[in-house]
Chain A
Amino acid sequence: MSGPAKGVALSGVAKWYGKVPAVRGLDLEVAPGEMVSLLGPSGCGKTTTLRMVAGLEAPDAGEIRIGGTRANEVPPWRRNIGMVFQSYALFPHKSVAENIAYGLVMRRLPRAEVAARVADAMRQVQLQGLDERVPSQLSGGQRQRVALARALVTRPDVLLFDEPLAALDRKLRERMQVEIRQLQRAVGITTIFVTHDQDEALTLSDRIVVMEGGRIVQSGTPGEIYERPGSHFVSDFIGMMNALRATVTGRAEDGGLRVRLEPGGRELAVAGPAGMAAGDGVELMLRPEKVRLNPPAGAGLIHVGGTVAHVVYLGAVTYLHVGTPDGLVIAMLPNAGGDAAAPRQGDAVTLGWRAADMVCFAPPRDA
């Protein structure tokens, strides 16, 4: 890095593709040295946003600042960024060493320094001895490392990732996530990471920015996003969720909502958003891992009886799909007791969870 890390700031950034808005008035600040994930379904504008930071797309409105300086008019080759592409985009006619050296050669550094820094970068991503290979002779993980080294070796102000792990198998992907995160921390470089994979976003980020329809819908630490989703969309997109249908019956004394679960008719008090009135339909969102199996009576839990409809055994955990009078509830149980301990299909069970673990949202309009 040339000097201290630089931050990135987007204000009111918008981009249209013809008559289709891809990004609509985005405000985003990435602090120096911070690692931020842009997370969302395909078509949410996350890649377009990244490409605008890179200078590969020009925003139709708004301003992009890198290190406090307006960058809108700066072409990509003068932005001092590093980018890892989804396809890696390693130059197929150049060797591994030549690929990594490319940015340094373009900066017209002396030959000896190029060689030293390329060797350094290759050591950093554990590619020693592969200098003379060409990209077609590398495995997926090795290509990924070359792309990473090529983007980092120029000591850019900002590192940009466009779903770079999508093509790797799961084991390798998880290892690369940890490697990328460690490397990013060690270098202390400002990083924006685009992904549609929630686990990836949770693993990698200081902060997750969830996008939908060209807008930011929530921004927060992985814990905040997971535990306190701000909307039905976020809670549904990140992690697995139970959604219990209910109707608002009134306001509680503490400002919460009184609701009645739809099929079962059970009355509950939950925390809920403002602007809800009696008679409104809502959905109560509940994480499967918050649901306990056959909890002791009392303990301030909501208790629901039901029958096991389906068992999904995943090794480390088992998912129980339980049919209850209040609808289908999925419970995640750690397999501490081995595979024999879990209930079987048809077993009668009692589920319990804390009312505070439920988050209440208006259901999405099209549902």
Chain B
Amino acid sequence: MLPPPPRRADPRRTFAAAALLAPGVLLLALILVWPFLVMLGMSLRERFPGPIGPSFAKYAEFLTDPYLLNVALRTFSLAATVTLLCAVLGYPIAWFLARSRSRWAHLVFLGTIFPLLVSIVVRTMGWTILLGNEGLVNAALLGLGLVTEPLRLMQGFWSVVLGMVHVLMPFMVLSIAAVLGRIDVAYAEAAATLGATPLRNFLSVTLPLSVQGVAAGSVIVFCLTVGAFITPIWLGRGHVTVMAIAIHEQMVTLVDWPGGAASGILLSLATLLLLGGYGLLLRRWARR
């Protein structure tokens, strides 16, 4: 006679797993799910204080307001640009970190994570010191006589891009390096012996195999850019209004809480949709 198959789960183990999971799950529920539900409720009111409709008036308002739609478009353009630049500029650094046996690799690693150790406020402030009208760059240009008036380096879309790329680059580099470091060098060597030039080798083997790292880094950078507040305010000097700033305006300046909540929900939804589509695209490409 065969002994009966073992029971699926030992109740003691199940309890232990539940006990270990509980604090994290409760905390997440408290700081993520609960506020989200509150905001969802808020967005379904017509005014606050007032009853929860449910009314989609604030959503309709958003989707017909050219100013807000423009801000949303700018926000996602900014996020896409920053993500692309981080990926393109960060990949070679990640490559160096993952593959180089140089003694400089340690220094490059330190240089990469160092920005993470400094508060985002301080880093952005640093850029204002560099790029301001009386900043280092303008002082140098004036001093050298290359320009006669300070350049307005700091109120455009690209100055915000510059600051955001600097702030978020470590996330991209570390995500890509983590994946690159686990890819066996033999794949690229095999491709080379089969006749792949370095460029085709990279595009057909190493890049598809490291796409997970690029995807993870992109998600982090994109999300953080979409929600960025301080950097666009300081480096855009009021000329680069993004969603975070607009929502702040709606809620604090206009005291339109349902409107701000609806904007927030729509922003989250759009971000999720974009990232989902991006993930699908990458996966399909990598399996090609």
Q: Does B103 contact A (CB under 8 A)?
A: no
B182-195 CB mask vs A (1 if < 8 Å, else 0) is 00101101111111
Closest to B201 in A: A77
User: Which residues does chain B contribute within 8 Å of A56, judged by CB atoms?
Assistant: 189, 192-193
Closest to B211 in A: A93
A91 near B192 (CB under 8 angstroms)?
A: no
User: Which residues does chain B contribute within 8 Å of A89, judged by CB atoms?
Assistant: 184, 186-187, 189-190
Q: Does B12 contact A (CB under 8 A)?
A: no
A93 near B208 (CB under 8 angstroms)?
A: yes
B193 near A81 (CB under 8 angstroms)?
A: yes
Given A92-B209, A93-B286, the answer on whether A85 and B195 have CB atoms closer than 8 Å is no
A93-124 CB mask vs B (1 if < 8 Å, else 0) is 10000000011001100000000000000000
B194 near A106 (CB under 8 angstroms)?
A: yes
A93 to B201, CA, bound (A): 14
A154 near B194 (CB under 8 angstroms)?
A: yes
B193 near A93 (CB under 8 angstroms)?
A: no
Give the Cβ gap from A108 to chain B, nearest Cβ, in Å.
9
A236 to B190, CA, bound (A): 35
B192 near A75 (CB under 8 angstroms)?
A: yes
Closest to A103 in B: B194
Q: Does A352 contact B (CB under 8 A)?
A: no
Interface residues in A261-293 (C-beta closer than 8 Å to B): none
Give the Cβ gap from B202 to chain A, nearest Cβ, in Å.
12
User: Which residues does chain A contribute within 8 Å of B208, judged by CB atoms?
Assistant: 93
User: Which residues does chain A contribute within 8 Å of B187, judged by CB atoms?
Assistant: 89, 91-92
B286 near A54 (CB under 8 angstroms)?
A: no
Interface residues in A296-335 (C-beta closer than 8 Å to B): none
User: Which residues does chain B contribute within 8 Å of A55, judged by CB atoms?
Assistant: 192-193
Question: Taking each of A76, A103, A154, which has the highest tally of chain B beta carbons within 10 Å of its own beta carbon?
Answer: A76
Q: Tell which of B186, B204, B287 touches A85, judged by Cβ atoms closer than 8 Å.
A: B186
Give the Cβ gap from A19 to chain B, nearest Cβ, in Å.
15
User: Which residues does chain A contribute within 8 Å of B192, judged by CB atoms?
Assistant: 55-56, 75-77
Given A91-B205, A93-B286, A106-B200, the answer on whether A150 and B186 have CB atoms closer than 8 Å is no
Q: Does A182 contact B (CB under 8 A)?
A: no
Give the Cβ gap from B190 to chain A, nearest Cβ, in Å.
4
B186 near A87 (CB under 8 angstroms)?
A: yes
A77 near B195 (CB under 8 angstroms)?
A: yes
Interface residues in A138-187 (C-beta closer than 8 Å to B): 150-151, 154, 160
A83 near B193 (CB under 8 angstroms)?
A: yes
Q: Does A222 contact B (CB under 8 A)?
A: no
A82 near B286 (CB under 8 angstroms)?
A: no
Q: Does B196 contact A (CB under 8 A)?
A: yes
B287 near A93 (CB under 8 angstroms)?
A: yes
Q: Does B197 contact A (CB under 8 A)?
A: yes
Q: Tell which of A91, A93, A103, A160 touches B195, judged by Cβ atoms closer than 8 Å.
A: A103
A56 to B187, CA, bound (A): 12
A76 to B200, CA, bound (A): 14
A85 near B197 (CB under 8 angstroms)?
A: no
A82 to B197, CA, bound (A): 15
B196 near A77 (CB under 8 angstroms)?
A: yes
A75 to B194, CA, bound (A): 11
User: Which residues does chain B contribute within 8 Å of A81, judged by CB atoms?
Assistant: 193
User: Which residues does chain B contribute within 8 Å of A77, judged by CB atoms?
Assistant: 192-198, 201
Closest to B196 in A: A106
Give the Cβ gap from B249 to chain A, nearest Cβ, in Å.
46
User: Which residues does chain B contribute within 8 Å of A106, judged by CB atoms?
Assistant: 191, 194-197, 200
User: Which residues does chain A contribute within 8 Å of B209, judged by CB atoms?
Assistant: 91-93
A77 to B204, CA, bound (A): 14
Interface residues in B33-56 (C-beta closer than 8 Å to A): none
Give the Cβ gap from A18 to chain B, nearest Cβ, in Å.
10
A154 to B186, CA, bound (A): 19
Give the Cβ gap from B101 to chain A, nearest Cβ, in Å.
10
Give the Cβ gap from B183 to chain A, nearest Cβ, in Å.
9
User: Which residues does chain B contribute within 8 Å of A82, judged by CB atoms?
Assistant: 193-194
Interface residues in A319-363 (C-beta closer than 8 Å to B): none
Give the Cβ gap from A56 to chain B, nearest Cβ, in Å.
5
User: Which residues does chain B contribute within 8 Å of A85, judged by CB atoms?
Assistant: 186, 189-190
Give the Cβ gap from B191 to chain A, nearest Cβ, in Å.
7
Closest to B195 in A: A106
User: Which residues does chain A contribute within 8 Å of B189, judged by CB atoms?
Assistant: 54, 56, 76, 83, 85, 89
Question: Taking each of A80, A93, A150, which has the highest tally of chain B beta carbons within 10 Å of its own beta carbon?
Answer: A93
Closest to B286 in A: A93
User: Which residues does chain A contribute within 8 Å of B200, judged by CB atoms?
Assistant: 106
User: Which residues does chain B contribute within 8 Å of A92, judged by CB atoms?
Assistant: 187, 209
A87 near B184 (CB under 8 angstroms)?
A: yes
**Assuming A55-B192, A87-B184, A92-B187, what are 17 further A-B pairs, CB within 8 angstroms?**
A54-B193, A77-B195, A79-B193, A81-B193, A85-B186, A85-B190, A87-B186, A89-B189, A90-B190, A102-B194, A102-B204, A103-B195, A106-B200, A150-B190, A150-B194, A154-B194, A160-B193
B-side residues, CB < 8 A to A, are: 184, 186-187, 189-198, 200-201, 204-205, 208-209, 286-287
The 4 closest A-B pairs by CB, nearest first: A103-B194, A89-B186, A89-B190, A106-B195
Q: Can you list 30 residue pairs at the A/B interface with Cβ under 8 Å?
A: A55-B192, A76-B193, A77-B192, A77-B193, A77-B194, A77-B195, A78-B195, A80-B195, A81-B193, A82-B193, A85-B186, A85-B190, A86-B186, A87-B184, A87-B186, A89-B184, A89-B186, A90-B190, A91-B205, A93-B287, A102-B194, A106-B191, A106-B196, A107-B195, A150-B190, A150-B194, A151-B193, A154-B194, A154-B195, A160-B193
